[in-house]
Amino acid sequence: MSGGHLSGSRWILTRPRNRAASWCDALTIEGAEVLLAPALELVEAESESVRSSLANFSQDGLLVFTSATTVQHFFSLIEQEDHHHLKSVHWAAVGPATAAAIRAGGYEVDVEGQGMGAEELVTQVISTFNRCEVIHYTSDAGLPIIIDRLSAAEFTTSRVEASKTQVEADLDPKSWKTDVQGSWSGIIFSSPASVRAVLSRAGDTKDSLLEVPAVAAGVTTANELQVQGWAQIEIAERATSTDLVVACANLLGGGTMKWSK
């Protein structure tokens, strides 16, 4: 592991457990030590709302997904007879992993973002489709950016929860306390909800945590870190392992973005 761009560095990774492997691997290959401490778990929502949302959905409509896990939950929640509603609908994915999950379900992707977030995806949708019916399948912690911007562009929109978030039972930022001051190179966050989850369990270690540099997967997560008072923030432009390594290396080199509390 010696000689990597992150050699000797130590990171706390709060990404959900079932999506953390590629990030862990990328960091360790570059010489980093990683503590996997998932902040959130995504679980399936109720099937009734997902299935009923398809019943009268336009065959020329668009289904939008911003999480590979939510795609998997969507396909788990619908029944075989629901697939006839999907024969000619269009599909949009925020990035390659989400697009791969849609293809694994047997459908082609009409709009595939680069993993740079909801704003980029909305821009692509507006430039690709005329005004049509849109459903954004998301989690209860999903932000309203997709719906708000498409509604403003006169698309007929609705939001349906296919996933629900819950704080990981084992999440305990207080256990990081003995190492937190000066020992950790940074804490990596993949969503605004993960930031809030960590702070909800931080107790009297909150002030110490805010002094540890943070790496955010995307601008939205970075904005949440800023709101919560983080002292130093570095942004991974996309939620990919390559961009994550670049952001971590930038932070070790002094950082390209520093926000004061």
Amino acid identity at 31: G
Note whether 104 and 191 are same-domain residues. Answer: no
Note whether 138 and 48 are same-domain residues. Answer: yes
Indicate the length of the chain as a whole number.
Answer: 261
Note whether 48 and 155 are same-domain residues. Answer: yes
Note whether 161 and 186 are same-domain residues. Answer: no
pLDDT at residue 258 tops 50:
no
Instruction: Note the pLDDT of residue 19.
Output: 84
Strand partners, 227: none
Q: How confident is the model at residue 182 (pLDDT cuts 50, 70, 90)?
A: low
The total number of structural domains that make up the chain? 2
pLDDT digits (tens, 9 = 90+) for 48-66: 999 999 999 999 999 999 9
Least confident of 120-134, 170-184, 230-244: 170-184
Which residues, at least 6 apart from 67, have a Cβ–Cβ distance to it below 8 Å? 42, 94, 98, 138, 139, 142, 163
Residue that is last in its domain, among 166, 193, 213 = 166
Amino acid identity at 221: T
Encoding tokens for residue 50? Answer: 């997902």
What's the domain range around 196? 10-39+169-252
Residue that is last in its domain, among 118, 138, 166 = 166
pLDDT at residue 257 tops 60:
no
Note whether 143 and 54 are same-domain residues. Answer: yes
Note whether 56 and 129 are same-domain residues. Answer: yes
Q: What is the mean pLDDT of residues 166-192?
A: 85
Q: Within a domain: residue 158?
A: yes
Q: How confident is the model at residue 240 (pLDDT cuts 50, 70, 90)?
A: confident
Residue that is last in its domain, among 110, 134, 166 = 166
